[in-house]
């Protein structure tokens, strides 16, 4: 998050204008103080007192106009800055590598977005504080001019009470950090409760633990800490408010005794002090605001660091980086991926993989749980970037900048696929589209799907297996040559599964598609042209329909069908 750049994006003239408005505003505001004090002490700036009233009202008008213009621009600036911060977070997310996104987690993205709201308040708070500082300076200057001793006395008392306030605030800050940690745990438990609602309903012990041991305990501690923090905070506020009365008392009763300040001057000081309460209050609110900005910036920095682990690229369309022509082949050369190791653990490694996939092949990827099939799919689809080796698409080596174009050539249905709420692909999803209707028919969904022709959408209130079939419809609408499926048929009923393997795959092949499908359905292994078996992250054999078996050195043939 480059805060400096976001602020810099506004012109210097804009800031200068705001500062100028602030200065005029503060000076007119202080001018009112001088006029009020003059009136109380029967002084006049002019020889003729008849000018006092027009001047007073004139200053009010100028001050009000300046305040109005100032407010307008501050609101504009705040919203502009907030917009820029939000867009930066979203842009970072859009450009982020999948691995970074996986590492970060969804909650941190939401936190980052809410943190931008804190940063969005920086200009407003800063400019208000700047104005308040000018008013405080003018008031202090006014007091010093009237009575240097009185000025020193009042300044000394204000600074002392301010230091006490700040010290007490530091203690609150530590407790706020503890509250924030508790809040993070709370969201984690809440996420478990919402995502695992069904599972919680099915286990009394689980339900008891998540509710009582985790959520309730967390909230009880949060409530206790929240109470003590709020009481301390309110004590501080109370102290701040009563500090002013103490200052007024000292000015009224002590100042005339210990200095030669006259009674008339005391009333000038009292009015000035009353005038100072608002601006000093604004300056004090800078302390907790600074704390929240510091925390938000640290979190956004972490967000930025995680999301930028791999060089950022411009992903606006660039035809020079795209691949032209129909799909012919995919080749993996020494392709290797390694998960980031946690502490002393040995990381799981996939590869090195050397493999060629040719146009029109139907390839099944098989292997035991945790053998590396999905990791390979993430590599193949370009979501994971290899730590070594390369992918060649139609013999074009894929470089970092080509990856989005490469991924764009593949239609993929992941194990946990997501059906989007909006038609982001701009498919023609009208009920009168014959191609769409044909695909829906092939997926045996004709009697099930509900078209929303007005919004060019299809309703998604479907069973899991039906959602997967609709995902297939969308994948076909993409009209890409390569179709990658990760355990697609796992949720299908036996009849449809048989149809998928025995009939539909043939149709896809006839359409010229190349299919790469992860599957555990050994009863249908014969429907593939080629089977790749994974074991401990490597392809331990590669069997083709013509009977050739490429057995990796040292690996065992574990599936009876393949022996």
Ligand X SMILES: Nc1ncnc2c1ncn2[C@@H]1O[C@H](COP(=O)(O)OP(=O)(O)OP(=O)(O)O)[C@@H](O)[C@H]1O
Binding positions for ligand X, rule: CB under 6 A:
339, 348, 367, 369-375
Cβ-based nearer residue to ligand X, 22 or 372: 372
Taking the complex as a whole, how short is the minimal distance between the CB of residue 364 and ligand X, in angstroms? 13
Taking the complex as a whole, how short is the minimal distance between the CB of residue 558 and ligand X, in angstroms? 13
Cβ-based nearer residue to ligand X, 344 or 369: 369
Taking the complex as a whole, how short is the minimal distance between the CB of residue 516 and ligand X, in angstroms? 13
Cβ-based nearer residue to ligand X, 476 or 484: 484
Omega before residue 377 within 30° of 0, cis: no
Taking the complex as a whole, how short is the minimal distance between the CB of residue 532 and ligand X, in angstroms? 12
Cβ-based nearer residue to ligand X, 375 or 466: 375
Say if CB 44 and CB 52 are below 8 A apart.
Answer: yes
Taking the complex as a whole, how short is the minimal distance between the CB of residue 171 and ligand X, in angstroms? 40
Report the half-sphere exposure of 305 (CA within 13 A, side-chain side): 6
Spatial CA neighbour of 27 closest among 68, 75, 59, 73? 59
Cβ-based nearer residue to ligand X, 161 or 485: 485
Taking the complex as a whole, how short is the minimal distance between the CB of residue 518 and ligand X, in angstroms? 7
Cβ-based nearer residue to ligand X, 102 or 479: 102
Taking the complex as a whole, how short is the minimal distance between the CB of residue 380 and ligand X, in angstroms? 12
Separation in Å, CA 44 to CA 33, 38, 53, 55, 186: 13, 6, 11, 11, 63
Token couple for 32 = 């009112």
Cβ-based nearer residue to ligand X, 249 or 370: 370
The burial class, CB within 10 Å (0-12 / 13-18 / 19+), for 403 is: buried
Taking the complex as a whole, how short is the minimal distance between the CB of residue 100 and ligand X, in angstroms? 12
Gap between the Cα atoms of 65 and 108, Å rounded: 43
Q: What is the largest CA-CA distance in the chain?
A: 114
Gap between the Cα atoms of 108 and 105, Å rounded: 6
Q: Positive or negative CA dihedral for 364, 370, 376, 381?
A: positive
- Helices (H), ranges, 105-147: 106-120, 122-146
Cβ-based nearer residue to ligand X, 373 or 468: 373
Cβ-based nearer residue to ligand X, 31 or 372: 372
Q: From the CB of residue 431, how many other CB atoms can be counted at a distance below 10 Å?
A: 13
Spatial CA neighbour of 412 closest among 488, 485, 337, 311? 485
139 secondary structure, DSSP code: H
Tell me phi and psi for residue 492, to 5 degrees: -85, 150
Taking the complex as a whole, how short is the minimal distance between the CB of residue 517 and ligand X, in angstroms? 13
Separation in Å, CA 159 to CA 156, 162, 165, 166, 242: 5, 5, 10, 10, 15
Taking the complex as a whole, how short is the minimal distance between the CB of residue 305 and ligand X, in angstroms? 19
Gap between the Cα atoms of 134 and 279, Å rounded: 9
Cβ-based nearer residue to ligand X, 291 or 374: 374
Gap between the Cα atoms of 323 and 17, Å rounded: 51
Cβ-based nearer residue to ligand X, 15 or 339: 339
Taking the complex as a whole, how short is the minimal distance between the CB of residue 326 and ligand X, in angstroms? 30
Token couple for 357 = 């996939």
Gap between the Cα atoms of 356 and 424, Å rounded: 33
- Output Rg (C-alpha) for the chain, integer angstroms: 35
- Helices (H), ranges, 400-517: 403-407, 434-442, 464-477, 494-499, 505-510
Gap between the Cα atoms of 359 and 44, Å rounded: 95
Taking the complex as a whole, how short is the minimal distance between the CB of residue 350 and ligand X, in angstroms? 7
Taking the complex as a whole, how short is the minimal distance between the CB of residue 373 and ligand X, in angstroms? 4
Cβ-based nearer residue to ligand X, 367 or 386: 367
Gap between the Cα atoms of 159 and 269, Å rounded: 16
Cβ-based nearer residue to ligand X, 296 or 531: 531
DSSP states along 19-59: HHHHHHHHHHHHHHHHHHHHHHTT--SSSSGGGHHHHHHHH
Taking the complex as a whole, how short is the minimal distance between the CB of residue 381 and ligand X, in angstroms? 13
Cβ-based nearer residue to ligand X, 211 or 339: 339
């Amino acid at each position: 998050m480059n805060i400096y750049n976001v602020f810099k994006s506004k012109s210097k003239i804009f800031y200068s204008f705001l500062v100028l408005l602030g200065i005029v505003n503060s000076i007119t505001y202080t001018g009112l103080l001088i006029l009020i004090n003059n009136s109380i002490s029967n002084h006049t700036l002019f020889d003729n007192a008849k000018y006092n009233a027009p001047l007073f009202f004139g200053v009010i008008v100028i001050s009000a106009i300046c305040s109005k213009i100032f407010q307008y621009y501050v609101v504009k600036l705040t919203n502009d800055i907030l917009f820029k911060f939000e867009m930066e977070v979203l842009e970072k997310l859009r450009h982020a590598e999948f691995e970074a996104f996986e590492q970060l987690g969804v909650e941190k993205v939401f936190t980052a977005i809410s943190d931008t709201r804190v940063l969005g308040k920086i200009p407003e708070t800063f400019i208000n504080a700047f104005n308040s500082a000018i008013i405080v300076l003018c008031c202090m200057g006014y007091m010093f001019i009237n009575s240097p001793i009185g000025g020193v006395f009042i300044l000394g008392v204000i600074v002392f009470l301010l230091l006490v306030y700040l010290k007490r605030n530091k203690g609150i800050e530590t407790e706020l950090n503890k509250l924030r940690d508790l809040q993070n745990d709370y969201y984690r438990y809440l996420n478990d409760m919402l995502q695992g609602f069904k599972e919680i309903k099915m286990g009394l012990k689980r339900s008891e633990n998540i509710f009582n041991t985790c959520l309730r305990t967390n909230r009880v501690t949060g409530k206790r800490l929240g109470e003590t923090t709020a009481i301390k905070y309110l004590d501080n506020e109370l102290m701040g408010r009563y500090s002013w009365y103490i200052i007024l008392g000292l000015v009224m009763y002590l100042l005339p005794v210990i200095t030669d300040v006259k009674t008339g001057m005391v009333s000038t000081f009292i009015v000035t002090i009353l005038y100072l309460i608002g601006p000093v209050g604004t300056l004090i609110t800078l302390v907790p605001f600074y704390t929240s900005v510091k925390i938000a910036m640290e979190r956004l920095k972490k967000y930025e660091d995680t999301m930028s682990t791999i060089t950022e690229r411009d992903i606006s369309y660039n035809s020079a980086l795209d691949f032209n022509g129909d799909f012919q082949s995919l080749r993996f050369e020494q392709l290797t991926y390694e998960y980031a190791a946690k502490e002393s653990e040995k990381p799981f490694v996939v590869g090195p993989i050397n493999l060629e996939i040719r146009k029109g092949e139907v390839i099944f990827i098989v292997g035991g749980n945790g053998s590396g099939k999905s990791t390979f799919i993430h590599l193949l689809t370009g979501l994971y970037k290899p730590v070594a080796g390369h992918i060649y698409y139609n013999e074009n080596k894929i470089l970092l900048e080509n990856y989005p174009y490469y991924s764009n050539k593949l239609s993929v249905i992941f194990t946990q696929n997501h059906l989007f709420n909006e038609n982001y692909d701009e498919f023609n999803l009208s009920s009168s589209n014959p191609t769409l209707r044909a695909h829906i028919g092939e997926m045996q969904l004709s009697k099930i799907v509900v078209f929303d022709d007005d919004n060019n959408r299809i309703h998604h209130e479907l069973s899991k297996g039906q959602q997967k079939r609709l995902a297939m419809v969308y994948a076909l609408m993409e009209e890409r040559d390569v179709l990658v499926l990760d355990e697609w048929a796992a949720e299908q009923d036996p009849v449809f599964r048989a149809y998928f393997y025995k009939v539909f795959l043939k149709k896809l092949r006839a359409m010229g598609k190349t299919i790469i499908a992860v599957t555990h359905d050994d009863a249908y292994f014969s429907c593939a042209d080629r089977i790749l078996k994974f074991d401990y992250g490597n392809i331990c054999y590669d069997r083709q329909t013509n009977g050739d078996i490429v057995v990796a050195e040292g690996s065992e043939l574990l599936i009876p069908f393949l022996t």
